[in-house]
Structure 1
């Protein structure tokens, strides 16, 4: 007999399997011996009341011996199969490659950046010297932007595809099984590189190719049909199917489309700052305590407000995290956040951003590059205000709202350093006014949030792509070019690791439908 139940478990008991077994038996009014197996389907923290508890959704097997098995994916030797060119080795590209192995296509992955371990030297140069390698940085290289921005797996993508399959693939390649049940699954920057390497090895083992330092600079199209791509060294890679999974920061791809006069369109995105608090402030607010229990993880938050009919919201919240410099070009400041798997740094940070719509930027309804130019302008201004070497402009929270230059800035996690400025000089007026109105309201929702111990760091601008590359909703091909599949965040069809992975898999499935 199989029963599905929900339990509330105190944090100190969450790792005690015998306690959970006894609680399940008591709720079902059976003896513990009758329960043959327990399976946790979902685990979340409920901090809404004065007492914090874990909520578990369980499947309980009574008087029934059950062997829980995970369906095994059947990968094929594709060394001699029809090629599918995949531009970009981020989550969309890598999961597209795995789907190729499953459907019998040979993935040829072309990545402009370096292998995941080789990226580390370039990241060190960014953090220590403010030097940006435009082909190898926090956004470009094996694993994509998510590899060194910590692998958050939160998603609402169930309607797009099989979320559980994506999570199981990550577990199969080294992620902790906790991600299969946690309500807010997270891998951690320290663990992601090993998982990415394991996926690469799987792709190569079954006959696929992954080529680094292979920047695509052109595409060969004849009679509106794709014939292949051209690399920066002049080499042509031949293939009739190309999945374009280049990420939200590969601006050169957008300019390539502009030169070719291929259809692209402006897309709304969000822009603002990254806000960092001491983690203990967030813990105290969310867990209603003076000191967080050792049985609870560092707390997170999610905040949203409407200011003058404009959305202001927290984004990519990193408990126990670090603010990172994520510029991909010279003379620009872009910040993001990440956390290690233990989330044990003393700070919590979150992007706090304002929706940017087409009507906010002159010419955006007719010029598909208007929002991209707007994004670039703010990033360059942030660099100039910081004074160079990726020093970022910053201001304490209450000072920002009250229009005061901060006399000093708190100790923080941003390694290149911060410079005290009036962020009103950096942010477009509608974004500044929306943030100024929202922050005190966030403080009313979350005790301790509105404080001068928090620092605002500019600029959080790569929340998503400001350009969409259109595609047919059924075939997923570009409407003007047969065989070209715009994919993932860079094309405007995903918003994180899981949704990008699903989109990559879906594109390969459409190729399978055609062949």
Structure 2
């Protein structure tokens, strides 16, 4: 017999296995003395709306019945060594999941990655943090696993209609993630565990006969009229395939430039730009959990989500939190020398004493009239100029410009700054001078409003660290809504965040799978 029940539990009961089982059996009306009983959580979320934090749990109770496995996916991929091949450019989640789906469909993927494998990337990340040296091919954005590997691992997505979220989660579990990601409402793997998982995804591709090429940069496309036939590598080598999935991420500006130079249709796209805001995690816990001292041993580090409409020069624009990292760190995410970009990450235990979040302002194309002459690259050029200015104002290293939060709202340069998780260090700067006025003024309005929504949030115990500019791609590579193929170049499948069709690890992975399915259906199965 199987029963599904809804429970509202204290954190201690929800996160302690024996106490949870006891509460579940009692709620299901089953005697605690009953033999052959089993209880498990299938969904779990935190309700912090009242002073007494509760955990909402959907549970299954089994009596004299063996529970079916939570994991139904099995990574028994066919061998595709001698199959027809497709080309996938970019080994982030979109590219890797496109490769795995191609293998399932009996097609050989050639996965091309400009950066290094996930282990070798670490040396380049250390060079950014310690020596301020940015390798334009291997950094927090470029390399195996993409930007998400070393910058967080959050798996929450609102993209319910874009694919099978559960399937993506199960593939992660099959490659090393814990089953907790199948249960939590805001699942998270952690930047300390993602590298091993990414390596396992690669091993599945290689063991099935696919190819993965690292330190391999695509510099041109092979076109026959309006048909994509393959790619040309930096060393001059040509690789041909039945089609090309372009999954290069939101920071591959050279690819956007190449597309534009080849007169392949691309479009400027709205995005968002702002800063990272760093608080003590304990302060955010006190606000969110209404606790006087700390959150205790059972509750996870708390997060927040904020949004506010603001007005500047008669135009309404949203200010919103982005990629909030409880118990996390701020990292340097530049992809070229001469620019400064920050991002956030959290380890799996979220046990840093800091909380950070992007706090960004929506940028529409009509806000950028002075960049209109760049055509489809207008938003990208604006983004790049702001990053270059931040680098100069921080001292022309990876030291980031920063300002205390209340000082920023009062337009006062901070006399000193707080301790920070950002390893390259901070420089006290007027962030109004770093950010374009349309950004800084809206950000100031938003922070004042957030201080009213979350009492204690607006404080000089927090600081703005700039800049957060890689929120999404500033360029969209158009594609047909049904076929996912570029509307002009046949055999080209724009994919994932870089093409403008995803906003995180899970949505990018789902998009990669769908692109692989469409390409194979049209060019391999015909």
TM-score tier by shorter-chain length is: over 0.9
Which of 84, 97, 100 is the matching residue for 1:98?
100
- Does the residue aligned with 2:369 lie in a helix, a strand or coil? coil
Deviations 1:40-82 (A, max 9, x none): 2211111111101211112333454443362435411000001
Instruction: Tell me the equivalent position of 1:305.
Output: 308
Q: Report the aligned-residue RMSD.
A: 1.5
Match runs of 1:59-458 below 5 Å: 59-62=60-63, 64-68=65-69, 70-289=72-291, 290-308=293-311, 309-362=316-369, 367-458=375-466
Aligned 8 A contact 1:25 1:35 in 2: no
1 CA distance for matches of 2:321 and 2:68?
42
2 CA distance for matches of 1:245 and 1:221?
18
**CA apart distance, 1:378:** 0.4
- Does the residue aligned with 2:516 lie in a helix, a strand or coil? helix
**CA apart distance, 1:269:** 0.4
2 CA distance for matches of 1:15 and 1:422?
44
2 CA distance for matches of 1:28 and 1:180?
22
1 CA distance for matches of 2:17 and 2:193?
26
- Does the residue aligned with 2:376 lie in a helix, a strand or coil? coil
Instruction: Tell me the equivalent position of 2:47.
Output: 46
Aligned 8 A contact 1:36 1:66 in 2: no
**CA apart distance, 1:427:** 1.0
Of 426-435 and 205-214, deviating more is 426-435
2 CA distance for matches of 1:211 and 1:92?
16
- Does the residue aligned with 2:397 lie in a helix, a strand or coil? coil
Instruction: Tell me the equivalent position of 1:475.
Output: 483
2 CA distance for matches of 1:419 and 1:195?
36
1 CA distance for matches of 2:372 and 2:362?
16
Aligned 8 A contact 2:403 2:465 in 1: yes
1 CA distance for matches of 2:272 and 2:80?
41
Deviations 1:237-273 (A, max 9, x none): 0112110000000001100111111100011100000
2 CA distance for matches of 1:30 and 1:348?
42
Deviations 1:405-433 (A, max 9, x none): 10011111111111111111111111111
2 CA distance for matches of 1:498 and 1:416?
30
**CA apart distance, 1:121:** 0.7
**CA apart distance, 1:363:** 6.0
Deviations 1:371-398 (A, max 9, x none): 1111011000001100112111110000
Structure 2: unaligned runs, 5 residues or longer: none
Aligned 8 A contact 2:73 2:167 in 1: no
Aligned 8 A contact 1:225 1:240 in 2: no
**CA apart distance, 1:30:** 3.4
Aligned 8 A contact 2:493 2:519 in 1: no
**CA apart distance, 1:39:** 3.6
| TM-score, with length taken from structure 2 | 0.95
Aligned 8 A contact 1:409 1:420 in 2: yes
2 CA distance for matches of 1:393 and 1:67?
53
Query: Relative to structure 1, is the Cα distance of residues 71 and 344 closer, same or farther in structure 2, using a 3 angstrom cutoff?
Result: closer
Instruction: Tell me the equivalent position of 2:471.
Output: 463
Which of 487, 491, 506 is the matching residue for 2:514?
506
- Does the residue aligned with 1:406 lie in a helix, a strand or coil? coil
Aligned 8 A contact 1:248 1:465 in 2: yes
1 CA distance for matches of 2:473 and 2:451?
30
Aligned 8 A contact 1:45 1:52 in 2: yes
Aligned 8 A contact 2:432 2:440 in 1: yes
